[in-house]
Amino acid sequence: MGVFVAEVQPRWSDMDAFGHVNHANTVVLLEEARVAMLFVEGARHGVTGMARGMVVARLSVDYHAPLVHNGEPVRIQIAVRDLRAASFVLDYSVHGGRQDTDPVVASAHTLMAPYDVAAGRPRRLTDAERDFLAGFHCGGGRAGQG
Q: What is the 3-state secondary structure (H, E, C) of 10-39?
A: CCHHHECCCCEECHHHHHHHHHHHHHHHHH
The yes-or-no verdict on residue 144 having pLDDT over 60 is no
Q: Is 1 helix (H, G, I), strand (E, B) or coil?
A: coil
- Length, in residues, of the chain: 146
- Assigned domain for 114 exists: yes
77: domain CATH number is 3.10.129.10
Is 145 contained in some domain? Answer: no
Cα dihedral value 32, 58, 44, 72, nearest 10: 20
Residue-wise pLDDT tens digits, 8-60: 998 878 777 877 888 889 999 999 999 999 999 999 999 999 998 999 999 99
119 inside domain = yes
**125 within domain boundaries:** yes
Query: How many domains is the chain partitioned into structurally?
Result: 1
Residue 13 is assigned to a structural domain of this protein? yes
Question: pLDDT tens across 120-134, in order?
Answer: 999 999 999 999 999
The residue segments making up the domain with residue 65 are 4-134
pLDDT attached to residue 43: 96
